[in-house]
Amino acid sequence: MINRFKAISLRMPDGHKQKITIIYEDQPAGIRVIPDHWDKDLHNLLDLLNMQLDKVLGGNSPKIWVVHRIDADTSGLVLFAKNAEIHRSLNSEFENNKISKFYLAIIKGCPSEKKGQINLPLLTGGKGRVRVNEKGKPSVTNYKVLETFEKFSLLEVSPVTGRTHQIRVHLEAIGHPLAVDPVYSGSQQITIFDLKRANSYQETKNSALISRLTLHAWRLKLNHPVDQVPMDWVAEPPKDFQALLKALRKWGSTS
């Protein structure tokens, strides 16, 4: 099998470098999956992949199809298809819950039950904000507590349905929103100060551990749409997510 796609490196508008890795081809936080509705110049994965394929095939390449999306501030796995037939097949698998998605989420507090299911209908309102509402679409999220800390917990979260902001709203609804979520938890970042008392100017200057959603699309399990061979892909969390976990294990332990 020829891998046409290489790792993509680019510089974000704020100046920091970003790298997109192709986990599997038959194949990051801060980058949209599709073009932004208002600003077409913002980086997005769909355009980046199409441009790279054009370079390899000389300009008349087939277009890439988006199978599912994650929020721009969520890191992790995103699935694309290289033709319409496979796109339809994978969409059908998602709709029939035959593809399993697993996320890692760092949340505020800890659920009383270490394993459970959140079954609450979700309704999208004005400005794209989502809320629990009996008139909304049926929405189901499973979760499992992996680690607990003094103020936070690490969960494995598996959405059964695929509603907009589903994980974020469901976790907020049970009183344990993402540790960082400007919309649903009111938190912009987690700093060293949130975990320990800084004792130097350098710690004060570099206190931010993570400044985006504490949510990572960690794992995808599905059967290959052509030969039905089981596929299981994992994307390890990026540096900021791992830095927060390391700090929590050091300063935020419940022991």
Q: Catalytic residue among 71, 181, 194, 240, which?
A: 71
Residue 35: what pLDDT?
Answer: 61
Cα gap 36→73, rounded to integer Å: 13
pLDDT band at 45 (very low <50, low <70, confident <90, very high): low
- Residue located via tokens 């332990």: 253
Residue 201: what pLDDT?
Answer: 44
Amino acid at 152: F
Answer yes or no: is pLDDT of 136 > 80: yes
Residue 19: what pLDDT?
Answer: 61
Residue 140: what pLDDT?
Answer: 97
- Residue located via tokens 């992949």: 49
- Calculate the alpha carbon distances from 245 to 24, 43, 154, 202 in Å: 27, 28, 8, 21
The pTM of this model reads 0.78
Answer yes or no: is pLDDT of 68 > 50: yes
pLDDT band at 216 (very low <50, low <70, confident <90, very high): very high
Q: What is the pLDDT of residues 83-131, one digit of tens each?
A: 788 889 999 998 888 999 999 999 999 999 999 999 999 999 887 899 9
Amino acid at 255: S
Quote the strand ranges of the chain, DSSP E.
Answer: 8-11, 17-20, 65-66, 75-76, 80-81, 100-108, 115-119, 122-124, 130-132, 140-148, 152-159, 190-191, 208-210, 215-223, 230-234
Q: What is the pLDDT of residues 226-244, one digit of tens each?
A: 889 999 999 999 999 999 9
Residue 141: what pLDDT?
Answer: 98
Q: Is 1-98's fold the same as 100-255's?
A: yes
What integer is the mean pLDDT of 126-149?
94
Residue 153: what pLDDT?
Answer: 97
Residue 46: what pLDDT?
Answer: 63
Q: What is the pLDDT of residues 52-67, one digit of tens each?
A: 655 655 555 567 778 8
Where are the chain's structural domains?
1-98, 100-255
Tell me if 192 sits within 8 A of 203, measured CB to CB. Answer: yes
126 DSSP 8-state letter: G
Q: Where does 1-98 sit in CATH, by number?
A: 3.30.2350.10
Under CATH, which architecture does the 100-255 domain have? 2-Layer Sandwich (3.30)
What integer is the mean pLDDT of 22-27?
50
232 is catalytic: no
